[in-house]
Structure 1
Amino acid sequence: MKAIEIRETGGLDVLDYVDRQQPELQGPDDILVKLCAAGVNPVDTKVRNNGPMLPAGLPAVLGCDGAGVVEAVGAEVTRFKPGDEVWFCYGGIGGPVGNYAEYIVINNHLAQAKPRSIGMTEAAAAPLVLLTAWEALHDRARLHEGQRVLVHAGAGGVGHVAIQLAKAAGARVCTTVSSAEKAEFAHALGAEYCINYKEEDLVESVMEWTGGEGVDIAFDTVGPDVFRQSIPAMAHYGDLVTILEPGPSLDLKEARLRNLRISLELMLTPMLRDLPRARVHQGEILRRCSHLIDRGDLRIHVSRTFPLAQAADAHQLIEQGHVTGKLALTMD
């Protein structure tokens, strides 16, 4: 089978389009999936640059997100049969299991039935960002109806689904964007108020939108500077969640005065620490998101696709920044 493999860390040139042996079922709970598409995420570029996150190490096949058709099942698999369409988030952070490939073998409990109303490309682009946004908003911040939510980088991969998940839960949403075009995109997703961070002051804009009270939840998808800037935009007793490390020199005096609850979100933890119960929970999240997608309350925006052999072009675009929605690789 064809696959994108890295044998050393570095720039775009370490992404090798190679022939690998097609994987085979290893256990009675396994399924063999013929991949149709794979999502491209910033973590893929970080593994390429910095090295694998698992002891399996190099050589490694990248790609955490996948969608495809079940081609074979283990003797004890009852959830799926050959021909079923599935989506999942697994692999891609070390060793030979990843989704930049034509086939993958995974435990059947890691996969879920693909939403009926979307294609393989959208399904492959979705799991990692959906799990990240859902865990941040629902599990960490305890989102509920009527709250005011600030989503940073609302036109990005995580941000564009976070807007929709918050809206579906009955929250009011504002978001940060970098252009009028991205503001229009975010409004179409359900954002009530957009802040162009290049031209407007974040705290002043949030306070204007909230009548001086601040937001109940702020979701940082950008990094330490944005995390710090969000603190004075928060309502007292609010929830501030970040998917990145806040940084070593963090002054939390104002956060303490506001009685903020600060949370960290990393949806890769079940893979990194081998936590089966957490994987079950993530499966339930994908099932619930599938329902939202099929009833029209959640859409996945894929701005560009690339053939598998052109993975380097997708990585280059990710590293240039400001991608709207998601990117995906296709195996057709």
Structure 2
Amino acid sequence: MRAWQVTRLGEPADALDLVDVPEPQPGPGQLAVRVRASALNFPDVLLCRGHYQVRPPLPFTPGVELCGEVIAVGEGVDRQVGERIIGTPALPTGGLAEVAILDAVDAFPAPESLTDAEAAALHIAYQTGFVALHRRAQLQTGETLLVHAAAGGVGSAAVQLGKAAGARVIAVVGGPAKAEVATKLGADLVIDRREQDFVAVVKEATGGRGADVVYDPVGGDAYAGSARCVAFEGRILVIGFAGGTVPAPPLNHALIKNYSIVGVHWGLYRQLDPAVVSQAHRALLDLAATGAIRPLVSEVLPLAAAVDGLTRLGAGDTVGRVVITP
């Protein structure tokens, strides 16, 4: 089968080779899937660079999220061949290949209402958003939600989930094209950070109160500005650092303004409280069935074009989700 493999660490164009390798076989507690679609994620770029918290031994196949069809099951796995599933592959046999391996606990029924490409893009971003907004931030109907990088894969999910929860959503993006995307996603107010000071606009739009919940997958200046426009008893959700800078917030500021800095590491729930993941999946299936959420897939590329997709994703030059179809 064909698979992309990281043979040396670096940028995707330097690190990845498309090679022919034997089809992997599932071990106990695992299943093998024919990959129907694999959604690209920023962690895939970090895996190539060797900057992700998980560092598989070389060579390995990246691709942390997929939609696939079960073709074989290992000992102790109660799954049916032919079942359509979504989930997170077990590295080193990731989703940027024709066949991938998943631990059975990380495989979930694919939403019938979504295409393969959309289903592949549902799991990580929407699980993260659902857990962040509902479990960690306790987002309430009528509250104001500020979403950074709102036209990206993670941010676009947060916009849709915020609207589905009855929040007023303010979206921050970079450039007019991304502003148009955020508007189509349903954001109530869209701020182009290249043209406007988002802190001032948020304060004006909320009558000086600020945002009740901030969804920040960017870090750096986005976080610093968020701390200046978060509301009394507000919650800043730390999702990631796609901007490349990890903030070092002054805790006296959080004390004086009485807001919370809330970390969100969704992957820990898979390890420490998997029931949370299962509950979130059921809720996401219901939301997808009603049309309240639908992953924004901007591009569907063949397997051979995965490096191009990852390169543009790493540079912040994509909107929504880029999906690979082997």
TM bucket (normalised to shorter chain) is: over 0.9
Equivalent position of 1:127 in the other structure: 123
In structure 2, the partner of 1:194 is 190
Structure 1 position 41 matched with structure 2 position 36? no
Alpha-carbon distance in 2 for matches of 1:267, 1:211: 33
Give, in whole Å, the separation in 2 of the partners of 1:100 and 1:187.
31
Coordinate RMSD, CA, aligned: 1.9
Within the alignment, does 1:175 sit opposite 2:171 as a pair? yes
Distance across 2 between alignment mates of 1:232 and 1:55:
36
Between the aligned partners of 2:88 and 2:286, the Cα distance in structure 1 is 17
Distance 1:236 1:152 in 2: 19
SS in 1 for 2:145: strand
The 3 A distance-change label for structure 1 pair 52 and 208 is closer
The residue type equivalent to 2:320 in the other structure is G
Alignment of 1:1-332 (within 5 A): 1-11=1-11, 12-27=13-28, 29-50=29-50, 53-54=53-54, 56-74=56-74, 76-78=76-78, 80-92=79-91, 96-244=92-240, 247=246, 249-269=248-268, 275=271, 277-331=272-326
Does the C-alpha gap of structure 1 residues 266 and 26 become closer, same or farther in structure 2, counting only changes over 3 Å?
Answer: same
Q: Which amino acid aligns with 2:147?
A: V
- Matched AA of 1:182: K
Deviations 1:23-60 (A, max 9, x none): 11311x33221111111111111110125643642211
Report SS of the residue matched to 1:123: helix
Shift of 1:147: 1.0
Find the residue that maps to 1:200 and give its secondary structure: coil
Aligned residue type for 2:210: G
TM-score w.r.t. length of structure 2? 0.92
| 145-154 or 121-130, which deviates more | 121-130
Instruction: Please give the TM-score of this superposition, normalised by the length of structure 1.
Output: 0.91
Structure 1 residues 30 and 248: CA distance shift in structure 2, 3 A: closer
SS in 2 for 1:26: coil
Residues 263 and 51 of structure 1: CA distance in aligned 2, closer, same or farther (over 3 Å): closer
Unaligned runs of 5+ in 1: none
> Distance in 2 between the 1:153 and 1:248 partners?
17
Runs of 4+, deviation exceeding 6 Å = none
Question: Cα offset for 1:179?
Answer: 2.7
Distance 2:269 2:3 in 1: 25
| Alpha carbons 1:65, 1:125 under 8 Å: kept | yes
Question: 1:247: Cα distance to partner?
Answer: 3.3
Q: Deviation per CA, 1:187-221, whole angstroms, max 9, x where unpaired?
A: 22221111111111112101111111111101111
Question: How many residues are paired up?
Answer: 322
Q: Which moved more, 1:148-157 or 1:240-249?
A: 240-249
Task: Kindly indicate whether the alpha-carbon contact (under 8 Å) linking 2:47 and 2:55 is maintained by their aligned counterparts in 1.
Answer: no
1:174 positional shift:
0.6
CA contact (8 A) 1:175 1:195 kept: yes
**Contact 2:37–2:67 (CA under 8 A) maintained in structure 1:** yes
Q: SS at 2:225's partner residue?
A: helix
Residues 38 and 323 in structure 2, CA contact (< 8 A), matched pair in contact too: yes
* 2:149 maps to amino acid: A
Whole-Å separation in 2 of the counterparts to 1:49 and 1:222: 18
**Contact residue 43 and residue 52 of structure 2 kept, 8 A:** no
Gaps of 5+ in 2: none
Contact 2:89 2:103 in 1 (8 A): no
Opposite residue 217 of structure 2, the aligned amino acid is T
CA distance in 2, matches of 1:22, 1:206: 52
Letter in 1 for 2:175: S
Asked if 2 retains the 8 angstrom alpha-carbon contact of 1:34 and 1:104, the reply is yes
Q: Which amino acid aligns with 2:230?
A: M
Per-residue Cα deviation, 1:238-284 (whole angstroms, up to 9, x for no partner): 1011123673643233322111111112223356xxx1x43342233
1-side partners of 2:55 and 2:294: how far apart?
Answer: 35
Counterpart code for 1:82:
V
